[in-house]
Amino acid sequence: MLEITNLSHTYGNGPTAHNALGGIDLKVAQGELVCIVGPSGCGKSTLLRSIAGLLRPSGGQVTLNGAQVEQTPDNLAVVFQDYSRSLFPWMSVVDNVSLPLRRKGMDKRQRGQAAMEALEEVGLDGAAAKYPWQLSGGMQQRVSIARALAYRPALLLMDEPFGSVDAQTREDLEDLTLRVRNLHNMTIVLITHDIDESVYVGDRVVVLSKAPAGIVGDLRVDLPGPRDQITTREHPDFVHLRAEVGRLVRGMRSPSPSAS
Amino acid sequence: MTRHNPLDNRLLCGALGVAGLFCVMEVAGRTGLIDPLVFPLASTVLGRAAALVTDGEFLSDVASTLGAWALGLLFTVALAVPAGFLLGSLPRVESALRPILEFLRPIPSIALIPLALAVFSDRFDMKVLLIVYAATWPVLINTMYGLKDVDPLAKETLRSFGFGKSAVLWRVSLPSTAPFIATGVRLASAIALIVGISAELLGGGAQGIGSYVLESGGNADAVEYIIAAAIWAGVIGMVTNGLFVLAERRIFRWHTARTEVV
C-alpha cells in the first residue's frame, strides 16, 4: 500500500548541502507495522516528512494506495514526538481529537461521537473536557494517538512517538499501539532510535545507515504473540534480533548469516 | 502559616497606598508646606472630582472622549490585525514596507495634530484619526510578532491531516496569535486615551475631557477643576486597562496556564 522508490533528499545546495536520503526503496504491505530505526541524525525524520507530503523530496517518489504523494494526502495521520506542541492548547481534548474529522465531511455530532470513541480506546474518555496542558505527558501523547485513530487513516506515521515520556509510560504506550493496531488492522510506520522498541513493536524492522541514509537491513520479526513487556523481551529470538539490529545500526558486520 | 496577613491582599495594599498619599498631600496643604492657594488641598480636589459626576457638561465631555476612544480602537483593530497578518505572512512585502514603517513609527502623534487640523474640518474625525494612527503600532507589531511565534509543528500537524493553507491560518495561526493581539490592543487602549485627550487639548476640540480642562482654565479655581478632571481621566484609563486584563485572563487562560507549566 505504501511504495517508496529511489527516494533521495538534499537540504540546501553548494558546499553546505546536506544529503539526508540517498536513494531509498521500501514497500509496506496493508496491515503491516514497520519500524524504521537508525542512528540519530540519519534522516529518519526526513523520510517520514517525505511520506507525509510535508516535504517535497529532491528525487524519487512515494505512492500511497497507488496515488503519488505530492501534497499532504488526506488518508494519512502523523503522531509527532512533541505532543505538547502538536496538540492545540486553546482547544479541549475532545475538540483536538475531532478537529481533523472536518476533512471527512462529518457533522458536529458525528465528529464528537467519533472523538469520544477514540478517547475511550486510549482510556481517556474521562478527560475529554480538559485541556491538553492539564494532562501528564503520557496522557497528552494518548490524546495524539486518539486523534490519529479517530481519523481512521489508511497509513499512520509515528515519529519517535514515545521519545519524550518516562520508561513506564513508554511501555504502556507501546502496548497501546499494538492493541489499537490489532483492533483496526492498521498500517503503521513507526520511526524510532530505540532498538529494543523497534523489535518489540514491529512486524518488520528496517535499519537505516548514517546520512545519506540507505537501507542496510530489513528484518522480519517473528515473535510469538501476543507480545508482552516481560516474556517477549526475554525470548531468545528477541535477544537475537535486537543484537542483530544493534550491529546493523552501528554499521558492524553480522557474525552469522542474517536472521531474516 | 495559618495566620492570614491582611496586607497580603493586593487590593487592600493598593488602597492603603492611595489613602497614604492623600493624607500626606492633605497634611502638606494644611501645615502650609504647600500653599493651598497655588495647589488646592487634596480634600478640595476630591470633593470637586465627586461633584463632577453630577455635572452634565462634564459627563457629555467624558462620553465624547470615550466615543472617540472606542471608535478609534475599533478602526485600529480592523486595520492593524489584517495588516499584521499580511506583513507577517508575506516576508517580501514586509521587507518593502519596513523602512516606511520604521520612519513613521517614532513620529509622535501629537506632532501630527497641526497637520490633522489643517486637513480635517471635523474635530471628532481628526481625533479618531490621530487615535488610529497612534494605536495601530502596538497592535500591528504584536500581531506580526505573535505570528512569527506560531509553532511550526502545530501548523505541520494540521497540514499532515491534509488541511490547506487557509485552514492552517484560520485554525492555528489566528488562535495562537490572539493572545499577542489582545496584549497589543490593551496597550493601544491606553495610548488611544492619551492621544485622544491630547488632541482635545491641543486641537481645541469642541468636546471631550481635554476641552473641559481648557474651558475651566478661565475659572478662578481653575487648578481645582483641572486636577479633578485629570483624576477622572486616570480612573477611566485604569478601569479600561483592568477590564482588558480581566478579559485576557479569562479568554486566554490556556496561554498563561501553559507558559506557567513550561
Q: Which pLDDT tens digit goes with each residue over B101-150?
A: 999 988 888 888 888 888 887 888 888 999 999 999 999 999 999 999 89
Instruction: Give the bridge partners for A187, in sequence order.
Output: A155
DSSP code at position A65:
T
The predicted model gives B29-47 an average pLDDT of 88
Domain assignment of residue A118, given as a range: 2-192+210-225+242-247
pTM for the structure as a whole:
0.86
Residues of A in Cβ contact (< 8 Å) with B161: 72, 74, 76-77, 100, 103, 151
Cβ distance A85 to B151 less than 8 Å, yes or no, reads yes
Residue A162 to residue A169: CA distance in whole angstroms: 8
Question: How confident is the model at residue B117, as a pLDDT?
Answer: 82
Our count of domains for chain A comes to 1
Question: What is the Cα–Cα distance from A26 to A42, expressed in whole angstroms?
Answer: 16
CATH number at residue A165: 3.40.50.300
Check: CB of residue B131 under 8 Å from CB of residue B76: yes
Across the interface, whether the CB atoms of B160 and A76 are under 8 A apart is answered: yes
**Residues pairing with A188 in the sheet:** A33, A156
Which of A:148-187 have CB within 8 Å of B?
Answer: 151, 157
pLDDT at A43: 85
Closest chain A residue by Cα to residue B162: A74
Every domain of chain B and the residues it spans:
47-261
Q: What is the mean pLDDT of chain A?
A: 90
Confidence of residue A12 (pLDDT cuts 50, 70, 90): confident
Contacts of B163 in chain A (CB under 8 A): 72, 100, 103
Grid cell 517518489 is found at: A61
Per the document, the length of chain A is 260
Q: How far apart are CA B182 and CA B189, in angstroms?
A: 10
What's the pLDDT at A260?
A: 44
Mean pLDDT: which of A160-169, B52-61, B118-127, B177-186 is highest?
Answer: B177-186
Average pLDDT, integer, range A100-108: 92
Asked if A248 contacts A207 with a C-beta cutoff of 8 angstroms, the reply is: yes
Assess whether pLDDT exceeds 60 at residue A129. yes
Mean predicted confidence (pLDDT) in B86-107: 91
Contacts of A89 in chain B (CB under 8 A): 254-255, 258
Chain B residues in contact with A52 by the CB 8 A cut-off are 160
The answer to whether A58 and A8 have CB atoms below 8 angstroms apart is yes
Question: Considering only alpha carbons, which residue of chain A is nearest residue B159?
Answer: A72
Query: Computed over its alpha carbons, how large is the radius of gyration of chain B?
Result: 23
What would the pLDDT profile of B41-81 be if each residue is shown by its tens digit?
899 999 999 999 999 999 999 999 999 999 999 999 999 99
Fold of B47-261: MetI-like fold (1.10.3720)
Complex ipTM more than 0.95, yes or no:
no
> pLDDT (tens digit, 9 = 90+) per residue, A65-88?
888 888 888 889 999 999 999 999
Q: A247 Cβ partners below 8 Å, 6+ apart?
A: A253, A254
Name which of B159, B161, B171 is nearest A151 (Cβ-Cβ).
B161
Cβ–Cβ contacts within 10 Å for residue A82, how many?
A: 18
